[in-house]
Amino acid sequence: MDIVSAVFVVLLTLIHLAVIARAILLEEREPYARAAWVLLLALLPVGGVLLYLLFGEPWMSSKIHRRANRVFRMLERTLPVPDYSEELEAIPDRFRNAFRTCEHVAQWPTAYGNTARIAPDSNAAIAMMIADIDRAEKTVHLSFYIWLSDHNGLKMVDAICRAAQRGVTCRIVADAIGSRQLIRSPWWRKMAASGAKLCASLKAPLGLSLLYGHRIDLRNHRKIVVIDGRVTYCGSQNCADPEFLVKKKFAPWVDIMIRYEGPIAHQNELIFVSVWTLETGEDTANFVAEQAPQPVPGGLEAIAVGTGPLSFKGAMTSIFTAVLAGAEHSAVISTPYFVPDPPLVSAIADCARRGVAVRIIFPHRNDSGPVGAISRAYYSTLAKAGVRIFEYRGGLLHAKTLVVDEAMGLVGSANMDRRSLDLNFENNVLFHSPDLAAEVGRHQDAWLADSIEISRWDLRHRSLARRFIENTLTMGGAVF
């Protein structure tokens, strides 16, 4: 071996050891995830290093963190949020911890005096949004992870163009990967030509720009619509037809979208603005400082929460577990993607062990084969704790819902998987309202009626090959 080759080998070895040390020294990582990365790095010295550099940490550069801190300080200065702490008494004691957890994550108080209405189905949700956009007088703010140029997607494009042409300020965010089809199309340019302001969110950094950007697979998974700062939508639905042509063999995609009016709209707007300002640099102080809508007497209590890689580690898990901790009688969950971390699995199992009737609805056919397999690997653990497991057969159940004791609910964009827990920008609304919880519950009941229950007999008789594959895939979740 010549001296050049020797130096090269030594250099690679030092890099390899440095990355292993980094994987071990990184704080706030679960021990089993740390062990998984060290094992991967040991087995694949070169490939493991490349994988770690690309996907090992949900990182964003210090430059982005500094900008995010400036944006948050700007929001604090321009938004005198009222103190509703006394009105927290309206929420039952067992639910207050969930709201306090959300307040800590969101950095604003629970909003009181809101009204809410669930869209009957996906097409109705788009129609309701477009009707609100057509009534807009000042601003239209939209953020979607996936926006397709299909029937519903183009109807939304036309509504944005109409609003912008009559002088409404339209700010549009679409994830650079999830909505790449639309972003590269003439319809995106049509919205720009009409006067709408557009942002392709989280563009993948290339080359050395990676050092000043973010992990390449971070995604803006949020679904936010805010009209004139007084009407907002939150839920699981992307801007697309339920037939979802890019993955039509799993159709229809079954979603839920809730329309809110009241102070909660201002909170959802702040979540939108935080990303808009961070990515575009636009000075948004003037419209952010506008007064929030007044509470409606007798309205429901709710709080909008945004999470993501700029949140503290485990923020979304903390919200899920806090909501489950408030359950005394029942908890119904729907999630299409289930790759939980240990605290979330324990929270669900412990909820059932203390006598709460816990039911979880998954899609029978998942558009992500590995994620579907990982989900099924957890069935035995959940079933042994007393959780009843159902698989929906009427399409791909994409709704992310959690309702406890038929009184408190969490509905939004976050799945119970590692991407939503740690990597994606997500938005959710936690509410306390027996009426709204009952309405979400009716949707859940309809999904359950079109589902099959997975029995313990089914789980005991899984083939060894299937168990081997599913359990092996769960090890992949740890590398996040």
DSSP assignment of 69-81? HHHHHHHHHH---
Number of domains in the chain: 3
What's the confidence (pLDDT) of residue 208?
A: 46
What's the confidence (pLDDT) of residue 198?
A: 98
Q: What SS3 string covers 370-418?
A: HHHHHHHHCHHHHHHHCCEEEEECCCEECCCEEEECCCEEEEECCCECH
127: alpha, beta or left? (left if phi > 0; alpha if psi -120 to 50): alpha
Q: Quick one: 270 and 374 in the same domain?
A: no
Tokens of residue 419, six digits? 């991407």
Q: Quick one: 242 and 224 in the same domain?
A: yes
Helix or strand run (H / E) with residue 344: helix 342-353
CB atoms within 10 A of CB 43: 9
What's the confidence (pLDDT) of residue 230?
A: 94
**Which residue, among 95, 75, 74, 103, has the nearest Cα to 292 in the 3D structure?**
75
Q: Quick one: 285 and 324 in the same domain?
A: no
Q: If the chain, 480 residues long, is cut into consecutive pieces of 10 residues, what is the mean pLDDT of each piece?
A: 71 79 76 76 78 69 68 64 60 95 93 96 97 97 97 98 97 96 96 97 66 71 96 97 90 96 93 90 72 86 94 94 98 96 95 98 92 91 96 96 98 95 94 98 98 85 73 65
Whether 97 is in a domain gets the answer: no
Q: What is the CATH number of the domain that holds 395?
A: 3.30.870.10
Tokens of residue 92, six digits? 């039952």
What's the confidence (pLDDT) of residue 147?
A: 97
Which of 300, 331, 351 is the C-terminal boundary of a domain? 300
Residue with tokens 């700010």: 171
Residues 6+ apart with CB under 8 A from 46: 12, 16
Q: Quick one: 223 and 267 in the same domain?
A: yes
**Which residue, among 409, 327, 408, 395, has the nearest Cα to 361 in the 3D structure?**
395
Burial of 275 (0-12, 13-18, 19+ CB in 10 A): buried
pLDDT digits (tens, 9 = 90+) for 24-82: 877 767 776 777 778 778 877 877 777 777 667 766 666 676 776 777 777 666 554 55
Whether 101 is in a domain gets the answer: no
Q: Quick one: 253 and 229 in the same domain?
A: yes
Whether 310 is in a domain gets the answer: no
Which of 300, 334, 365 is the C-terminal boundary of a domain? 300
Contact 113, 140 (CB under 8 A): no
Burial of 183 (0-12, 13-18, 19+ CB in 10 A): buried
Q: Give how far the C-alpha of residue 91 lies from the chain's centroid of Cα atoms, to the nearest Å.
A: 25
φ and ψ at residue 303, rounded to 5 degrees? -145, 130
Whether 437 is in a domain gets the answer: yes
d(CA 396, CA 369) in angstroms, rounded, equals: 13
Instruction: Say which DSSP state 144 is in.
Output: E
Tokens of residue 176, six digits? 């650079």
Q: Quick one: 188 and 326 in the same domain?
A: no
Whether 200 is in a domain gets the answer: yes
**Which residue, among 125, 91, 102, has the nearest Cα to 437 in the 3D structure?**
91
d(CA 173, CA 176) in angstroms, rounded, equals: 9
Which of 300, 328, 358 is the C-terminal boundary of a domain? 300
φ and ψ at residue 231, rounded to 5 degrees? -120, 135
What's the confidence (pLDDT) of residue 2?
A: 73
361: alpha, beta or left? (left if phi > 0; alpha if psi -120 to 50): beta
For 447, half-sphere exposure in the C-beta direction (CA atoms, 13 angstrom radius) is 34
Whether 98 is in a domain gets the answer: no
pLDDT digits (tens, 9 = 90+) for 397-425: 999 999 999 999 999 999 999 889 988 99
Q: Quick one: 319 and 217 in the same domain?
A: no
Q: Quick one: 408 and 286 in the same domain?
A: no
What's the confidence (pLDDT) of residue 444?
A: 98
pTM of the model: 0.90
Contact 341, 369 (CB under 8 A): no
Q: Quick one: 283 and 331 in the same domain?
A: no
- The end-to-end CA distance of the chain, in Å, is 38
Query: Residue 356 carries which side chain, given as an amino acid letter?
Result: V
Q: Quick one: 148 and 229 in the same domain?
A: yes
What's the confidence (pLDDT) of residue 29?
A: 72
Domain with 392 in it: 315-477
Contact 440, 118 (CB under 8 A): yes
Whether 103 is in a domain gets the answer: no
For 186, half-sphere exposure in the C-beta direction (CA atoms, 13 angstrom radius) is 0
CB atoms within 10 A of CB 131: 11
Q: Quick one: 143 and 164 in the same domain?
A: yes
Q: Quick one: 357 and 269 in the same domain?
A: no
Whether 307 is in a domain gets the answer: no
Tokens of residue 195, six digits? 């006067």
